[in-house]
Structure 1
Amino acid sequence: MTHRTYELDRAHVFHSWSAQASLTPMVIESAEGSHVVDDEGRRYLDFSSQLVYTNIGHQHPRVVKAIQDQAATLCTIAPQHANAARSEAARLVAELAPEGMDHVFFTNGGADAVEHAVRMARLHTGRRKVLSRYRSYHGGTQTAVNLTGDPRRWPNDYGSEGVVHFFGPFLYRSEFHATTEQEECERALEHLERTIVMEGSDTIAAIILETIPGTAGIMPPPPGYLEGVRALCDRYGIVWIADEVMAGFGRTGTWFALDLYDAKPDLITFAKGVTSGYVPLGGVIISEPIYATFADRVYPGGLTYSGHPLACAAAVATIETMKDERIVEAAATLGSDVLGPGLADIAAKHPCVGEVRGVGAFWALDLVADPQTREPLAPYGGSSPAMNEIVGACKKNGLLPFANYHRIHVVPALNIAHDEARQGLEILDEALSLGDAHVAR
């Protein structure tokens, strides 16, 4: 059967972000907790949380049962009707959001959450342009991929979506010749304001930012940056959209990455961890002023499956499980006691590790071919033999990593056992010796 699974995949499945002819996808037969099992019975420790969404691990029995129970009661109903699962999911999400953000619009995932947040901002302001940073990812649909600030945008960008990109703060690869976090913050905010002014502030509907950029490199903003963005948005009448699709629901050791900062956005997009990916669900959390815009004015947008009962039941069970099992607190402890110290030790041993960044269960190793010049171990937008060797060694030794360009991201389940996390770090430690062989001496 497993051979047939592979053959049917190659015969009929069109994969995302891939050249189809050269693919050899791993067949996964089962998963549990922090492990997945392939078609040959090999177990892999999942340090990727798939695409950084299985925040409570695989096959948590409480969430699986909630989905089963919902399926037995009400599999689906059109979104114009209220249903118990959606109502409770909205209450729980709003309860976790900043004060005054009491309404939730549900989508199928993160990309369409971004699409709708941008639509709301444009209609609310009467403006068109949206600013987003380089080194970001916001989704694969048309507006979302144009907002994205990585090379996946390039083949899809015709300059027609009203998007303007700017540089965000990233001290390790600073665009501003900064030498301290404070300099980086101040210069990045100055650059953003100059961009706003030169583009025409009254043409800009929104600024969208991943609170902590995820796929682009897990780069926590310096102290004061998000507060500065909030001030600029207030000054120029711009909506701030916080993209929490990857960083939200416990990934950073707080319910939202925003909880680490003293700044409140106008709209928040979420997905992924809200259901631990068990059933697709995303959404937009809406502030009172934007809600008021559509209180007596029709919002021209919707989805057939907005607030789908199965997805919302999974969200309710996921959030309740995370609360009862203190999984968000577990992520904070995992970061402070295991991943943070362990990755610092690894960085001290390996010249190919240029920088370690992260918080909670959200970490990245920035790998370099030259520690002095910080030349990346693979080109921006590509891979390299060195990176392929590292990833191959991880898989050979039973670790499923998350690799992107010249980085390895360490993003396991938030509730991974500490011993398992240390085991994964040991495998990664050994694999990085292959990267060291490619470092300039």
Structure 2
Amino acid sequence: MASPLHTPRNAEISERDRSSVFHSWSAQGTLAPLPLAGGSGVEVWDADGRRYLDFSSMLVNVNIGHQHPRVVAAIQEQAAQLTTVAPAHAHEMRAHAAELVLKRAPEGFSKVFFTNGGADANENAIRMARLTTGRDKIVSHYRSYHGNTGAAIVATGDWRRMPNEYSRGHVHVFGPYLYRSEFWAETPEQECERALRHLERTVQAEGPDTIAAFLFETIPGTAGILVPPPGYLAGVREIADRYGILLILDEVMAGFARAGEWFAFDAFDVRPDLITFAKGVNSGYVPVGGVVISDAVAAVFDDRVFPGGLTYSGHPLAAASIVAAQEAMADEGVIENARRIGDEVIGPRLRTLAEESPLVGEVRGRGVFWAVELVADPATREPVATARVGAIKAAMLERGVLGFVAENRVHVVPPAVIGDADAHRGLDVLVEVLQAEATRG
């Protein structure tokens, strides 16, 4: 720990970090982590005092903004009263947190199982589905990310599952993605119809009585913010019902204001059997996640032991942060702000950018959840090289905007509390950087 007379600077913190911390998803020898020392609202600052507009929400989770005073105070007050309690005990703050999460769920949900984060929320939802149905297989999308625990990482569709495929019973399908259609579709209606046909044929080929659940992100996030076409999720529900399959909707990234709704599926005609959440429920102030359980699934375990648990399930500090965050989001109109910013600022600005920039193949999103897909050639839709995307992120950082990039995309994912001026400020930088990059070719 630094002495009161010594305030570490960026270079020192970076060196100490590189020498002692093993980072996620990284080759350790080439890391250059940005040292962050503080934050407030939609801004963060480094140890040298330089400020950045956070257009990444860290990992697309700081929905309520940095250091919200009501959430910080709630954590402090709970820490002064009781810092931890075993999950076998009842605790008022845990019950209150569950009640507020259930308030946002559809009718027919009355229980929440708390976890440490989104990955083990999906892990336990999978367990519940298998035990409820007596079946084994889980069907998920190739373009997806569900977390880095045993079954969650194999349910993930992208490359990260490949070194980790030691969990059983996982099947993948292509979901709708009209811009890069796997189904030769030319309209959203065709993409929806053909993606559903592909899903149902996969179910039939695998054997319906072997499939426990569909595990789908309501809006796939890291995979590209792939907003499903009208009718797709309702069609998934119909297929699930036809074959006795449970539907798990992963709301870890899309939920709690990110897509301009409490739950992203509120904008679609669908009701899941299990809902997984984390990230935005408390903006990541304390690690937490959970599974919202339908009454039918919960009843399975009334007289049967649920063989799962976590030491920190419903941790008091996490529960206090959920309560404060949920109350503040409701009182301050955070959901409505996210929806309005998406409709009136981010969406229109990005659509104009798509019309004007040869680098932009497509923009898509809702709320404060948008992707700008970059292409080397608009005609062939060839993705831009990864190195160019890295250069774009670095150029944004140099101009004071902390961005989020994935593959050939820049994701525009600021905190849901962002105002018009700050949203325009970040978008101005993105436009400037893309214009400069297009000029370089």
Same fold (TM over 0.5): yes
Q: Quick one: distance in 2 between partners of 1:217 and 1:307? A: 31
Choose the corresponding residue for 1:294, options 276, 301, 324.
301
- Equivalent in the alignment of 1:177: 184
CA shift digits 1:314-336 (9 cap, x unpaired): 00000000000010000011001
Choose the corresponding residue for 1:74, options 69, 72, 82.
82
Q: Quick one: distance in 2 between partners of 1:278 and 1:330? A: 21
- Equivalent in the alignment of 2:33: 25
State the 1:245 CA deviation: 0.1
AA aligned to 2:427 is L
- Equivalent in the alignment of 1:422: 424
CA shift digits 1:203-243 (9 cap, x unpaired): 00111000000000001101110000001110101111000
- Equivalent in the alignment of 1:237: 244
Q: Quick one: distance in 1 between partners of 2:280 and 2:440? A: 36
- Equivalent in the alignment of 2:212: 205
- Equivalent in the alignment of 1:109: 117
State the 1:102 CA deviation: 1.2
- Equivalent in the alignment of 1:5: 13
State the 1:434 CA deviation: 3.6
1:102 is paired with a residue of what secondary structure? strand
AA aligned to 1:230 is R
State the 1:438 CA deviation: 6.3
State the 1:391 CA deviation: 1.1
2:306 is paired with a residue of what secondary structure? coil
AA aligned to 2:422 is E
- Equivalent in the alignment of 1:129: 137
- Equivalent in the alignment of 2:64: 56
Residue 285 (1) aligns with residue 287 (2): no
Choose the corresponding residue for 2:149, options 141, 144, 165.
141
AA aligned to 1:306 is S
Residue 196 (1) aligns with residue 196 (2): no
AA aligned to 1:366 is E
State the 1:41 CA deviation: 1.2
Residue 431 (1) aligns with residue 436 (2): no
Q: Quick one: distance in 2 between partners of 1:121 and 1:36? A: 40
Change (3 A) 1:343 1:232: same
CA shift digits 1:125-148 (9 cap, x unpaired): 111110000110000111111011
- Equivalent in the alignment of 2:397: 395
Tell me the percent identity: 59
Residue 249 (1) aligns with residue 256 (2): yes
Conservation of the 8 A alpha-carbon contact between 1:129 and 1:204: yes
Q: Which runs of 4+ in 1 moved over 4 A?
A: none
Conservation of the 8 A alpha-carbon contact between 1:389 and 1:434: no
How many residues are paired up?
433
2:275 is paired with a residue of what secondary structure? strand
Q: State the TM-score, normalized to the length of structure 1.
A: 0.97
Choose the corresponding residue for 1:40, options 20, 23, 48.
48
Change (3 A) 1:416 1:230: same
- Equivalent in the alignment of 2:410: 408
Q: State the TM-score, normalized to the length of structure 2.
A: 0.97
- Equivalent in the alignment of 2:4: none
Residue 333 (1) aligns with residue 340 (2): yes
State the 1:161 CA deviation: 1.9
State the 1:6 CA deviation: 2.2
